[in-house]
Structure 1
């Protein structure tokens, strides 16, 4: 009985190397790209970042102005309500309260729309750059014989000989000198989570 089990085990082990060999994956040739550097140095990236920063500053300044307007409108209403000592406001004060609430809602909606527009513009810029970057990386990787290309920031070590960042940056600057710093077309707007 032990002999039969031993023979069966030896026979089974003879098939393992052949099965394992059939499942082997060829060795990967790896290239790396410093995507952080690309984002900092590409011509279109820098120009878009500057315009996006300007749009963000404009939105922040508008938020501060709206906040000041609301505070200016709210203070006398609060003072008038406090002077009533718990009594119901008259029709004139009630109208001022309603007008203030409408002004506050309008300000919130304006800022929300501005934030959505800014996010959409950022998404559009990222989409344009990412699309061209992927095409360039795929082309350069193939021309160098690389079967895998990784972001340098995700790699613990990479020899300089596998880094194709300089060539990617040169081609990206040549092929994409600028991008449209506008919101995504309506059909491509990112969907809001939880709505």
Structure 2
């Protein structure tokens, strides 16, 4: 009886294995970073963000140059005192200079924070669209595995679908806003 049961189980194994077979892997590779920088809307957004970054740098130069000159003049006056205490007029100049420095730093910090908010907003829009673009290409290619190109040592160019993902992004992501919505004001009680 045991031999018949074992023989029946052994005979059924190939049928059970066939019922549990896994489809052959269809693998594609995508360079998400390249797709996120080379789509048309992505390039336009990066150009606009670069202009904003240059604006921050120009403001820094506009604010720093006069302050450096004034700071050097004040330092020369302080050095000329040879350790003596500055008089009321020089103290007032130093206080005014420090106030100008603080104002300049606040302006720069605000402009830099606005730029970072805009940059993050643009990158988030791109990031939100890359996943669905990859999914669409994966479905068209009937792939069941998608690998990020940066995690693969070598790959055949035939498996690289980055160009397809860029084309899908060009189709679905027509523009990227590079000015973030105003930050929500804190609600009072």
TM value normalised by structure 2: 0.76
SS of the aligned residue for 1:87 comes to: coil
Q: CA deviation at 1:50?
A: 0.8
In the alignment, the residues of structure 2 paired with residue 167 and residue 112 of structure 1 have an alpha-carbon distance, to the nearest angstrom, of 40
Q: CA deviation at 1:168?
A: 1.3
Relative to structure 1, the CA distance from residue 184 to residue 25 in structure 2 (aligned partners, 3 Å threshold; closer, same or farther) is farther
Q: Please, which moves more after superposition, 53-62 or 144-153?
A: 144-153
Q: CA deviation at 1:153?
A: 2.6
In the alignment, the residues of structure 1 paired with residue 148 and residue 178 of structure 2 have an alpha-carbon distance, to the nearest angstrom, of 25
- 1:132 alignment counterpart: 129
Task: Say whether residues 1:52 and 2:32 are aligned partners.
Answer: no
Instruction: Give matches, 1:1-195, under 5 Å.
Output: 26=22, 28-183=25-180, 186=183
Output one character per residue of 1:47-97: Cα deviation in whole Å (capped at 9) or x when no partner. 111111111111112111211111122122222222222222122111111
In the alignment, the residues of structure 1 paired with residue 183 and residue 123 of structure 2 have an alpha-carbon distance, to the nearest angstrom, of 16
User: Could you list the runs of 4 or more consecutive aligned residues of structure 1 that deviate by over 6 angstroms after TM superposition?
Assistant: none
In the alignment, the residues of structure 1 paired with residue 72 and residue 158 of structure 2 have an alpha-carbon distance, to the nearest angstrom, of 66
Contact 1:30 1:148 survives alignment (8 Å): yes
Contact 2:48 2:178 survives alignment (8 Å): yes
In the alignment, the residues of structure 1 paired with residue 44 and residue 124 of structure 2 have an alpha-carbon distance, to the nearest angstrom, of 15
Contact 2:26 2:145 survives alignment (8 Å): yes
Q: CA deviation at 1:44?
A: 0.9
Q: CA deviation at 1:185?
A: 5.1
Q: CA deviation at 1:128?
A: 0.4
TM value normalised by structure 1: 0.74
Q: CA RMSD in A?
A: 2.4
SS of the aligned residue for 1:89 comes to: coil
Could you tell me which runs of 5 or more consecutive residues in structure 2 were left unpaired when the two chains were aligned: 1-16, 185-189
